[in-house]
Amino acid sequence: MKKALVIMTFSALAAGCADNSIPKAQLPELDMTNPLLATWNTPHETPPFSEIELSDYEPAFDAAIACSRAEVEAIVKNPAKPTFGNTIVALERQGALLSRIAGIFFNLLEADTSDEMQQIALRVQPKLTELSNDIMLNPELFARVKQVYEHPGRGLKPEDKKLLEDTYKSFARNGAALSDADKELYRKYTSELSALTLQFGQNALSATNAFTINITDPKVVAELPAFVREGMAADAKARGEKGWTVTLQAPSYAPFLRYSSNRALKERLWKAYNARALGGEFDNTEIVKQIANTRLKIANLLGYKCYADYVLEERMAENTPTVTAFLDELLAETKEYADADYRTVSEYAASKGFKGELMPWDWSYYSEKYKDEKYALNDEAVKPYFQLENVRKGVFLLANKLYGLNFTPNPAIEVYHPDVTAYEVTDGTGRFMAVLYLDFFPRESKRGGAWMTEFRGTKTVDGVETRPLVSLVMNFTKPTEQTPSLLTFDEVETFLHEFGHSLHGMLAEGKYESQNGTNVYRDFVELPSQIMENWATEKEFLDLWAVHYETGEPIPAELVERIVAAKNYLAAYANVRQLSFGMTDMAWHTLTEPFEGDVEQFEVASMAPTQVLPVVPGTAMAPAFGHIFSGGYAAGYYGYKWAEVLEADAFSLFKEKGIFSREVAESFRENILSKGGTEHPMKLYVAFRGHKPETRALIEKMGLGK
């Protein structure tokens, strides 16, 4: 998760820049005709997207960087003795204008990008990296921070003490204590890394968009469910093509593999997806090596043996041996069951006439057929009850039952794309809690996957509270001319997952923005999201909103029972697949020597202990593995499984007390959601659950070993 981004009115920003300690001559000139710098007279001071032109961004960034430099200089030159207020809090609050602009630009760079926007990012990112380094490597500033850290004075509250500790560690972990010569190396390495990760993400997106298969023979698509054919027809029409087009976007790629019996096309599609940016025009293989090696240089420079040691020092797991042991334990507990899952599906395929070795592009087709036969459950049976509008209603209803939240669409709040809807969020007393933007459907200007982010975070300054602007971005099945958007069960879980992140943001109550919402340790941040997925299989919840989109009939009890029964179908395989991602992530980031080998072969070796499906030469996930090479999860992908252990144990309390228990929900809100990063996550978890989590909870939830 990114540091929360604050949006304030210009008058407040100007007051921050025009502090008495800053000579007026040093204040940057701000062009008030630039909407990114002007006052926003909008509902809840939300961004006026329609007024912002691409040409506004670079001059706005330049002005905001100058403003931030002036604010930092005022802290450094303050003649008064360093205190928590004039140094630590002042640092926390500086850069508000820059946060406003970055909060818009970098979120839209992910959700609604363009070639020009990507070029702007390549020009702006080095300036931001330089600013960050200039702040962190400023010896006078660090001296002030260190003095307060060593002599904090009295009267600091727990969240104040945590901010002080976080601030000092941030400087120390970003090179402040290095020699002058090493500081210059640190600047060089971090600048290079910033550019590399940005280029990696752009290449991965371009590679994803570059490949399609257009089908003009109706016989090839005749066997596909209507919703798949309609989606492919819509994609073809949007591209000016005839017939049906399948892409590498998840709502297109995954259903085709699942329902098509055409092995040749599926092999071609699967290999294209799993070789994205592995060679070719958008090759990321050299960039992968450069990123890994640059991270190693940074870690070594700061005194760590490997990059994972550096990262994990500030995680709930705390160190590399703990993560390695955690992944190994889960693998040992589940690998034999995952291999059994593969044998089960292979034997089933053979019973249906399949000959030879079951390959990865065969897996979805036969595992889906087996599930349909064993549990009488497939996407076609489930999707009619999961119309997007109803799922959204159900998710909102759950938030109301647990936390008393209400969601009201407000068309007066501008959105950045016609697909987006903005909601005002209030609690049971009518208190304004947040603005929530929902962005559901894939487009070429949006990267794949699903995520929660913020245009603005939560904070309180001089008794005035700023509430968050939260955005959920997803890539769900689009509606067609014939059919509304009907979600798969996986998509329903994804909605609940990302909504859990949004609750973490919307229910934040802390004073300092850098501690609020999702600004927590990376291996703790997935607890609020993953626990929400549990409600997807609770009949008591589904019965409240899941109705057939054509008949209005409630979802049948026996269908819910089948969903529950099928929940752990291939759970071991799915678990080991996730472990493979975590283990290859750790392999890249526990390197202790520069890597100059073959990316594909490195991945084969790192994933070997977890390999269930056959290895396919000429494929590798690393060149498109955005989570770890451009998305902030480096040495942190294990956190998804770590959080599964937490949520399996945490949800058992809801099962014990009732899935809509206000008592449990209020405790979860008080101890987890509202607290953010104000305390160590283990302390917060134990305060909620009463004990530390155990791996066994997840094993039992998957139904293994029974």
Q: Which two tokens stand for residue 104?
A: 């818009």
Q: Which of 498, 533, 538, 644 is catalytic?
A: 498
Report how far apart the first and last C-alpha atoms of the chain are (Å, whole number). 37
Separation of alpha carbons 202 and 115, rounded Å: 9
Helices 180-210 and 115-136 sit at what angle, rounded to 10 degrees?
160
Nearest to 108 by CA among 41, 166, 59, 47: 47
Name the amino acid, one letter, at 269: L
Separation of alpha carbons 121 and 113, rounded Å: 10
- Burial 332-362, CB ≥16 within 10 A → b, else e: ebbbebbeebbebbbebbeeeebeeebebbb
Name the amino acid, one letter, at 318: E
Separation of alpha carbons 595 and 592, rounded Å: 9
Q: Which two tokens stand for residue 114?
A: 């363009």
Identify the H or E element spanning 571: helix 571-589
Residue 601: partners with Cβ closer than 8 Å, 6 or more residues away = none
Separation of alpha carbons 626 and 629, rounded Å: 5
Q: Which long-range contacts (CB under 8 A, 24 or more apart) does 167-173 make?
A: 167/88, 167/91, 167/92, 169/314, 170/136, 171/136, 171/141, 171/142, 171/145, 171/146, 173/302, 173/310, 173/313, 173/314
Q: Which DSSP state fits 81? A: P
Q: Which residue has the tokens 């996930």?
A: 621
Identify the H or E element spanning 362: helix 360-375
State whether residue 320 is helix, strand or coil: helix
| Strand duo 451-456 + 406-409: pairing | unpaired
Per the document, the length of the chain is: 706
Name the amino acid, one letter, at 544: L
Q: Is 498 a catalytic residue?
A: yes
Name the amino acid, one letter, at 568: N
Residue 151: partners with Cβ closer than 8 Å, 6 or more residues away = none
Q: How many Cα atoms occupy the beta-carbon half-sphere of 268 within 13 Å? A: 12
- Give counts: helices (H), strands (E), the chain: 29, 9
User: Taking a C-beta distance cutoff of 8 angstroms, is the pair 136, 174 a contact?
Assistant: yes
The residues annotated with a catalytic role in the active site are 498
